[in-house]
Amino acid sequence: MSDQSLEGAAALVTGAGGGIGAATARRLAREGATVALLARRRDRLWQVASDIADLGGHAVAVEADLTEPERADDAVQEALDRLGRLDILVNNAGVMLLNSALHTTLDEWDRMVSLNIRALLHVTHAAVPHLIYAASTSPRQVADLVNVGSTAGRAARPGNSVYSLTKAGLNAFTESLRQELLGERVRVSVVEPGAVDTEPMNHLGGAVRETPGALRAEDVADAIGYVVTRDRRVAVDQMLVRAGGRSW
């Protein structure tokens, strides 16, 4: 049971076209939030919005490539214009391209840095003032910023050097931002899943592509839903979520 209803709250979820993002959007909608879905593919966004409507919720689709700073800022503003406010931001957009330094390309490394780090910064910078305003004006008296990290941010393994770099950096960024926004009643959290059976797993090579016993996207969405529905006296700063039968 949730401590705090999200009725009347507005949430923005990046990477909401599928996987963890779509599952999180559906979970927040079930808790009562209106959700802005942000991703590059319009067809997928409309499908998720339709799923949420079937659940009795409401979602709007915002198509954007977040690796472009101006478009990221415009996308946050579009979400704000259509929802009227912004109480929750879930930074979920990301990509995992695993390979050794010998065999990868600089383009693959750049793609991970662009989406996993630069897009995160663009969206966060645009959203923070609106989260602060929401915390001071909403019945919840709190706002939430949740970054989706990874166990790779804690333990580097062969083939995931730059992916781990981006997720370790996300952890440091999240902790610093958490301390900065304490006085503004904006809770900043990181949820770090282990292996999840979602589309990013298709970017893995070899036998790693098969993920028996992996988490489901809904498992991570449940964790995010738990974080943002705590009473305002409670802040869940970090949550590490692994599949019961896996070591990572």
Name residue 240's amino acid: L
The closest alpha carbon to 199, from 19, 14, 6, belongs to 19
Work out the average pLDDT over 100-112: 94
- Assess whether 133 carries a catalytic annotation: no
Query: Whole-prediction pTM value?
Result: 0.92
pLDDT of amino acid 69: 85
- Whole-number percent of the chain with pLDDT over 90: 85
pLDDT of amino acid 2: 57
pLDDT of amino acid 86: 98
Q: pLDDT confidence of 129, banded at 50, 70, 90?
A: very high
Range list of H helices, the chain: 19-30, 42-54, 69-83, 106-113, 119-137, 161-180, 217-228
pLDDT of amino acid 208: 40
Taking 60 as the threshold, does the pLDDT of residue 244 lie above it? yes
Decide: 221 and 24 in contact? Cβ < 8 Å: yes
Out of 88-92, 139-143, 194-198, least confident range = 194-198
pLDDT of amino acid 24: 98
Taking 90 as the threshold, does the pLDDT of residue 148 lie above it? yes
What digits encode the pLDDT tens for the residues 179-224? 999 999 999 999 999 999 975 544 444 334 445 679 999 999 999 9
Name residue 242's amino acid: R
Taking 50 as the threshold, does the pLDDT of residue 1 lie above it? no
pLDDT of amino acid 213: 79
Residue-averaged pLDDT of the chain: 92
DSSP type of residue 214: P
Residue-range domains of the chain with CATH:
10-240 (3.40.50.720)
Decide: 143 and 185 in contact? Cβ < 8 Å: yes
Decide: 86 and 10 in contact? Cβ < 8 Å: yes
Q: Which two tokens stand for residue 33?
A: 């939030």
What digits encode the pLDDT tens for the residues 9-52? 999 999 999 999 999 999 999 999 999 999 999 899 999 999 99
The catalytic residue among 163, 164, 186, 215 is 163
In angstroms, the CA 226 to CA 90 distance is 13
| CA-to-CA separations, 99 to 113, 157, 184, 198, 212, in angstroms, rounded | 15, 11, 41, 18, 20
Q: pLDDT confidence of 3, banded at 50, 70, 90?
A: confident
- CB count within 10 Å of CB 43 equals 9
